[in-house]
Amino acid sequence: MRVKVPATTANLGPGFDTLGMALELYNIVELTALPQGELVVEIEGEGISNIPRDDSNIVIKIIRQVYAKAKMQPCGFKLKLINHIPVARGLGSSAAALVGGAVAANELCGNVLTDQEVLELVTTFEGHPDNVAPALFGGVVVSAEVQNAQGSEVVSRKIPPPYGLKALVAIPDFHLATKKARSVLPRQVPFEDALFNLSRVSMVIMAFVHNDWELLGKVMDDRLHQPYREELIPGMKDVFAAAYDAGAIAAVLSGAGPTLIAFARENTEDIARAMKEAFERHGVKATIQELKPS
Ligand code: HSE
């Protein structure tokens, strides 16, 4: 079974833990069931030396969870991960790995689980749905965990990939663990900051629904996470300013960072150069990639 899963950029500015967009950069997960309990894990790609090849591998864990939920007999596996999404950079590499493993395992089980069950299983593992949902469904996805009579469920709605919008990702050459990027967030925020984000995230969704890039440029701003994470990403504000000066529609932190992402319809070469140079002024080497929404 071979599954292709996109990178994702979560938050999209004010949509902390609720908005995400799939990008045209993919990891491949290949999974074969082995009759005996043997486990073979092969990994290709950059930054993979610390990824475990045994039962502690998160993809193996989610595969076993899918088998258990589908009430299938436990067995061995040959798992091959071909990674193109950089690890721990804010582009959803762990969500992609988990979604790929879960979808491949579900296929081997005869697709016993629904997409909704896969979404919820992986979200429970990942902790929040904003990378998981677009990795599974593609496009821009709005998702939330809500309470129900059984406990909780993930509700999500997909907006088709925006047409004509390009993403420029500036990927610094250092890792930032999501756990660390979440540890700097406050327990409480001022009421006016909550209101600021509430009004803007509503408008960001409207902008994506209507492909209204003028609106997007006015509202893609955040007060819930970006200001607190700035200390972890040297030059963040300058890179945003450089992207805007070069003609970007909007520039935000991609997920928990450290990747910064700018959205544009034109001038993409100028924006890419400006972001790279702004990072360099702060001693950060960054790779810039132009990606389309997927
Ligand atoms: N919404 C998450 C965060 C995405 O910003 O922490 C990273 O997994």
Give the model confidence (pLDDT) of 185-235 as tens digits. Answer: 999 999 999 999 999 999 999 999 999 999 999 999 999 999 999 999 999
Query: What average pLDDT does this structure show over 121-126?
Result: 96
Q: What does the alpha-carbon distance between residue 4 and residue 133 come to, in Å, rounded to a whole number?
A: 15
Query: What average pLDDT does this structure show over 122-150?
Result: 96
Point out the ligand 1 atom lying closest to the alpha carbon of residue 16.
1
What is the per-residue pLDDT for 104? 98
Q: What stretch of H or E contains 3? A: strand 2-10
256 lines ligand 1 (CB under 6 A): yes
Tell me the best of 122, 131, 175 to mutate to test the pocket of ligand 1, counting ligand atoms within 8 Å of each CB and taking the most: 131
What is the per-residue pLDDT for 205? 98
Residue-wise pLDDT for 169-187, tens only, equals: 999 999 999 999 999 999 9
* Residue nearest ligand 1's atom 3 by CA: 256
10 Cα: distance to centroid of ligand 1 (angstroms): 6
> Does pLDDT of 36 surpass 90?
no
Task: Output the CA–CA distances (angstroms, integers) from residue 150 to 73, 114, 147, 153, in the order listed.
Answer: 26, 17, 8, 8
Contact 267, 287 (CB under 8 A): no
120 lines ligand 1 (CB under 6 A): no
Q: Give pTM, 2 decimals.
A: 0.96
288 Cα: distance to centroid of ligand 1 (angstroms): 21
Nearest to 219 by CA among 231, 230, 206: 206
229 lines ligand 1 (CB under 6 A): no
SS3 state at 121 = helix
Contact 114, 69 (CB under 8 A): no
> Does pLDDT of 291 surpass 90?
yes
Residue-wise pLDDT for 48-106, tens only, equals: 788 899 999 999 999 999 999 999 998 999 999 999 999 999 999 999 999 999 999 99
* Residue nearest ligand 1's atom 4 by CA: 255
Q: What angle do CA 284, 185, 172 make, to 5 degrees?
A: 15
* Residue nearest ligand 1's atom 5 by CA: 256
182 lines ligand 1 (CB under 6 A): yes
What is the per-residue pLDDT for 74? 85
Q: What does the alpha-carbon distance between residue 30 and residue 232 come to, in Å, rounded to a whole number?
A: 35
289 Cα: distance to centroid of ligand 1 (angstroms): 21
Q: What does the alpha-carbon distance between residue 291 and residue 294 come to, in Å, rounded to a whole number?
A: 9
| ipTM for the predicted complex | 0.98
255 lines ligand 1 (CB under 6 A): yes
Q: At what angle do helices 115-126 and 58-69 cross, to 10 degrees?
A: 140
Tell me the best of 182, 197, 224, 253 to mutate to test the pocket of ligand 1, counting ligand atoms within 8 Å of each CB and taking the most: 182
What is the per-residue pLDDT for 154? 97
What is the per-residue pLDDT for 47? 74
222 lines ligand 1 (CB under 6 A): no
13 Cα: distance to centroid of ligand 1 (angstroms): 11
Q: How does residue 35 score in pLDDT terms, banded at 50, 70 and 90?
A: confident
What is the per-residue pLDDT for 37? 87
Residue-wise pLDDT for 239-285, tens only, equals: 999 999 999 999 999 999 999 999 999 999 999 999 999 999 999 99
Q: What does the alpha-carbon distance between residue 181 and residue 164 come to, in Å, rounded to a whole number?
A: 31
271 Cα: distance to centroid of ligand 1 (angstroms): 25
Spatial CB neighbours of 158, under 8 Å, sequence gap ≥ 6? 133, 134, 137, 138, 139, 140, 141
What is the per-residue pLDDT for 286? 98
